[in-house]
Structure 1
């Protein structure tokens, strides 16, 4: 088993075709086919089902692709970190970002890292907090924004901020950021909510559990994008983090307001693995993210948020 075989395996699995993989790898098709065949002979099982729809990994193939991809990423990271000048911070850093804060965080983070650490290559992976935590535990991301998480045996957690959740409605509802909406008003409306088991849904259910009115749930979804689309289409109101809807509210696409009586908020934290030494590029990106969070909150670019404690510093 060598790097050429692992590279061919991962590439074929990603594009679903030996022909496409050969083009991407700048090889002839028989060479890629041979690498896959040699790998299958070595492990003693079929790694792909050859179908009219393309090359589909078998269960064994999927398991090997997962580990091969991780191994190739680590080797790529090691190559990027080896530089003639050891003072130069360089390498590949994979950052997990909550779906609900992508618009607020990702563009300025990419800009800040490019300006301060031009030799760092960022990879951004966006998902819900539960998925991000799994990826962080598995080593698929180097650091990640998470919410409502305390430290665990495998993760070190740095509190960043606490942000209020907003009621989100069509523009015709006339909600405004300076006029909070009560739970009583919210529960008069049909609701578009995350599916049960989702972290945000758990917050919502816990907050309304003491109220006598049962919610009228119009639809449950597993996507913030779908929540907003369904609200826009008039299927009901919803509850989302302020950072996830502030741009839509400012653009007049949706209307939104802080939720009150009682207020509902979540904490956003930075998670890092305890199980391995933190490489200098990861430390650099973590520090940049901390500085960025401070700036976003203090400038009001992250609405309805307040710092949990001082994060980073202005010069570090």
Structure 2
């Protein structure tokens, strides 16, 4: 099994086309086809179904893809770490970020890492907390921002902060960050909520359990961006983390207020694998996540958030 075969396999899986993969890899199409076929022969399984709509991974291909990506990532990390300048932190770091934290955290994190650690290459993947934790266990990401999780046998966490959930509405509703909104008020509005089983939905359902009002749910989705778009369109209200809507509220696109009676919060943590050796670049980025979150809370860019004592 050769590295070029793994690269060909991963590229074809990502673009679902041998022709497009060949273009990206600057190879002729038969060369890519040959590498895939050789890999399949060596493994004794079929990795792709050749359909008229493109190359589709088989179940065996799905399993092998995660291992191939991890192997290539580890090889790239080893190459980076073996040739650093004296005292310089170098390497590839894959960071998993909750969708709700993309706006508030990612721009500042990118700028900060580029300034302090120019030898570090960041790969950013977004998802829900459950998926990010699985990616951490699988080695797809090196460090992840998660919520409401504790140490496990495969993961250690560093607490960051607690943040409140907000009621989010169109601007004409006039919600203000300085004036909490009660559940009685929110539950009288049509709601766009996360799907059942989503971590935020669990928090929402638990908080409203003792309130004698049934919510008028018009849409359920696992996408925060869909929730915000529907609120922007005036279809209803949503309940979202403050970090996910702070910029929209500041710009007047949405109005928002912390929920009260009862208030609802989630804890945001950094997750790291329980590995015998964590690369210097990963530790550096994890430390920077701590520092960036502190600055954002202190400056008010991360509203309704309270730093935890461990910082």
**What is the TM-score with the length of structure 1 in the denominator?**
0.95
Q: Which residue of 2 aligns with 1:164?
A: 164
Alignment of 1:138-177 (within 5 A): 138-177=138-177
Give the match for residue 102 of structure 2: 102
SS in 2 for 1:55: strand
Tell me by how many angstroms 1:310 deviates: 4.9
Distance 1:84 1:199, change over 3 A: closer
1:85 CA displacement:
3.0
Offset at residue 299 of structure 1 (A)? 0.8
Mapped partners of 2:105, 2:276: distance in 1: 26
Q: Deviations over 1:10-46 (max 9, x none)?
A: 1111112222212211222221121112112222232
| 2:258 counterpart SS class | strand
2:14 matched residue in structure 1 = 14
Please give the secondary structure, in 1, of the residue aligned with 2:97.
strand
SS at match of 1:303: coil
Q: Tell me, which stretches of 5 or more residues in structure 1 are unaligned?
A: 312-316
* Runs of 4 or more above 3 Å deviation: none
Q: Does 1:201 align with 2:201?
A: yes
Q: Distance in 2 between matches of 1:66 and 1:136?
A: 12
SS at match of 2:168: strand
Indicate the RMSD between aligned Cα atoms, in angstroms. Answer: 1.3
* Number of the residue aligned with 1:223: 223
Q: Does 1:122 align with 2:96?
A: no
Corresponding residue number in structure 1 for 2:133 = 133
Contact 2:159 2:310 in 1 (8 A): no
| TM-score, length basis structure 2 | 0.97
Match of residue 81 from structure 2 = 81
2-structure distance, mates of 1:35, 1:267: 46
1:65: Cα distance to partner? 1.9
SS for the counterpart of 1:193 is: strand
SS at match of 1:235: coil
What SS does structure 2 have at the residue aligned with 1:123?
strand
CA distance in 2 between partners of 1:267 and 1:34 (Å): 49
- Match of 1:164, SS state, is strand
Counterparts of 1:13-92 in structure 2, within 5 Å, are 13-83=13-83, 85-92=85-92
1:46 is paired with a residue of what secondary structure? Answer: coil
2:84, 2:148 → 1: CA distance?
A: 42
Taking the aligned partners of 2:267 and 2:163, their CA distance within structure 1 comes to 6
User: Deviation of residue 161 (structure 1)?
Assistant: 0.5
- Encode CA deviations 1:250-306: one digit per residue, 9 max, x unaligned: 111111111111111111111111134211000111111111111111111101111
CA contact (8 A) 2:69 2:140 kept: no
| 1:96-144 C-alpha deviation (Å, 9 max, x unpaired) | 1111111110001000000000000001111111111111111111111
Residues 180, 258 of structure 2: 8 Å contact kept? yes
